[in-house]
Amino acid sequence: MSLMNDNIVLAIVDDHPIVIEGLRTLLKEEPQISIAGSFTRGKDFMDFLQHNKVDLVLLDIMLPDTSGMDLCRDIKKLSPDTVVLALSNHTERSIILQILQNGASGYLVKNVSSTELLNCLKEALKGEIAFSKEVKEIITRPSQHEFKQVPTLTKREKQILQLVSQGKTTPVMAQELNVSPLTIETHRRNLLQKFDVKNVAELIMAAVQHKMITGF
Amino acid sequence: MSLMNDNIVLAIVDDHPIVIEGLRTLLKEEPQISIAGSFTRGKDFMDFLQHNKVDLVLLDIMLPDTSGMDLCRDIKKLSPDTVVLALSNHTERSIILQILQNGASGYLVKNVSSTELLNCLKEALKGEIAFSKEVKEIITRPSQHEFKQVPTLTKREKQILQLVSQGKTTPVMAQELNVSPLTIETHRRNLLQKFDVKNVAELIMAAVQHKMITGF
DNA sequence: CCAAAAATACCGGGAAACCAGTAGATAAAA
DNA sequence: TTTTATCTACTGGTTTCCCGGTATTTTTGG
């Protein structure tokens, strides 16, 4: 886990060049941290990670290409010892828990102060879970409907969900995806089951609430 | 307007220290630009502006204390010659137009590259309207659902919509409201018609997008 | 008061969604 | 390699949704 290493290799994945620049500047002050690279696309980082050792990643969970959630999982799969710190502006409890579920070691909202950022980095490297102040409050204040955790969907299911939200009917989807309508029906059934709902109306609502469909 | 001035006084208003740091670093390279200050709260900047001349403000329109919209208007009222460049992650057309309405000279999404940022700064100082690449596309391509205005629903229809979003079926709603299921069907039909959609999935999505059902 | 809007209700019919159970093929993980 | 997860596909059936009309009663607003 490179706990006691005095030299920590860090990477930044964020599609905002300004944020990257800011992080670089702030972290440059810390001699024990060396920045291996910064990436605006998830795929680029994964390529990098294939050939390089990275101790800690600052990961924006809202990226253009991949979902940050999936990327986080991919990172931990490829390199389990790499500590992932999620960086985002979202303050929904479900999102925070979801990213933790996917292997992140902490969650920072982007309005952290520089000192807060460094503290969290240190905590995360010690193996602890690190939250910025605001996030801690969100975590400790649970809300009603968040008891049932966010269901994990397969690739195909996500795809079907998206199409359903676009008003596509089963036969239409079957044609588009070149599979039997009966197959689509099965996926639909599984979606309803996983979300614990009875029909599309509830399904869409649940998906929207968990931000699993964008809407735009 | 300080068009031809070789020394441009710039200020940054953003509640993300990281972003501020990034902007500072990027702009430090430009000798003709001097950064008068950076502020995480709108009020602080207004106090500063009272006693100092500022040529250009980079303004995050999502601030904790004031709405960026209001702040922009306040800035232009107090110091009409100060050029305001909005900085945000929102990509909704309506938001962009709104901030321009309030006196901003341009709009940048935060994922601008450093060169793009500098170009926009220069354009804005020349008195032009400056947009980052992504924003230009949004402006020129008005999106579908913004054409058709938000449908006006009757009391009953709102009620039905709410119930539908809760997964209630026609017979269930009929019982709850003590009317014939056929009546409910008619209301449903009218809802689909008003929203110009084919089925519940689309209906819910449209309603969510127009914020006509809360979700929570 | 009277016209417009809204809420109510009906018919018939076709399409789609939902339910319960089963199961082969393949791909990924242990 | 064996297990597990995922994607695929089927049978057979019930329920609900969606579409095309039409039409009466209340409510509401000018």
Which tokens in the block code for residue B2? 């300080």
Rounded CA separation A30/A33 (Å): 6
Protein footprint on strand C: which nucleotides are under 7 Å from a CB? 5-11, 15-23, 29
B169 touches strand D (CB under 7 A): yes
Average pLDDT, stretch B30-41?
89
Predicted local distance difference test score (pLDDT) of residue A144: 47
State phi, psi for B173 to the nearest 5 degrees. Answer: -60, -40
Average pLDDT, stretch B201-215?
85
**Span CA (B155) to C1' (C14), Å:** 31
State phi, psi for B215 to the nearest 5 degrees. Answer: 90, -30
Residue A33 corresponds to which amino acid?
I
Q: Is residue B63 scored above 50 in pLDDT?
A: yes
Chain B residue numbers with beta carbons less than 8 Å from the beta carbon of A114 are 17-18, 21
B8-140: what CATH class?
alpha beta
| A166: closest chain B residue by CA | B202
DSSP state of B196: T
Rounded CA separation A68/A74 (Å): 10
- The region of weakest confidence among A61-75, A131-145, B61-75, B134-148 is B134-148
Is residue B87 within 8 Å of B60, Cβ to Cβ? yes
Please give the residue that has the higher pLDDT: either B91 or A64.
Answer: B91
The H or E element that residue A58 is part of is strand A56-60
Check whether domain A155-209 has CATH 1.10.10.10, yes or no = yes
Is residue A191 within 8 Å of A162, Cβ to Cβ? no
Chain B residue numbers with beta carbons less than 8 Å from the beta carbon of A195 are none
Order of strands across the sheet that contains A106-109: A33-39, A8-13, A56-60, A83-88, A106-109, A130-131
Rounded CA separation A87/A101 (Å): 15
B204 contact partners, CB below 8 Å, separation of at least 6:
A200, A201, A204, A205, A208, B164, B165, B213
**Taking CB atoms and an 8 Å cut-off, how many pairs form between chains A and B?**
129
Test A205 with B24 for CB contact under 8 angstroms.
Answer: no
Residue closest to A144 by CA, chosen among A91, A201, A94, A89? A94
Average pLDDT, stretch B11-33?
90
**Span CA (A78) to C1' (C17), Å:** 41
State pLDDT tens for residues A146-203. 445 678 889 999 999 999 999 999 999 999 999 999 999 999 999 999 999 999 999 9
Rounded CA separation A164/B94 (Å): 27
Chain B residue numbers with beta carbons less than 8 Å from the beta carbon of A112 are 17-18
Domain boundaries defined on chain A: 8-143, 155-209
**Beta bridge partner(s), residue A78:** none
Rounded CA separation A167/A30 (Å): 52
| B162: closest chain A residue by CA | A201
Rounded CA separation A73/A95 (Å): 14
Is residue A34 within 8 Å of A9, Cβ to Cβ? yes
**A21: three-class secondary structure by DSSP:** helix
DSSP state of A83: E
Exposure b/e, A103-122, CB count within 10 A at least 16 = b: bbbbbbbbbbebebbbebbe
Test B200 with A204 for CB contact under 8 angstroms.
Answer: yes
Q: pLDDT band for B11, please (50, 70, 90 cuts).
A: very high
Q: Which of B17, B110, B198 sits opposite A16 (nearest CB)?
A: B110
Q: Say which nucleotide is closest to residue A192, CA to C1' distance.
A: C18
Q: Is residue B2 scored above 70 in pLDDT?
A: no
Residues 171-200 of A with CB under 7 A from strand C: 171, 185-186, 188-189, 192, 198-200
**Span CA (A169) to C1' (C14), Å:** 15
Into which CATH architecture does domain A8-143 fall? 3-Layer(aba) Sandwich (3.40)
Those residues of chain A whose CB sits closer than 8 Å to some CB in chain B are: 15-26, 40, 64, 89, 110-114, 117, 145, 164-167, 169, 197-205, 208-209, 213, 215-216
Rounded CA separation B167/B173 (Å): 10
Test B26 with A15 for CB contact under 8 angstroms.
Answer: no
Is residue A99 within 8 Å of A60, Cβ to Cβ? no
Predicted local distance difference test score (pLDDT) of residue B189: 94
Residue closest to B116 by CA, chosen among A133, A87, A16? A16
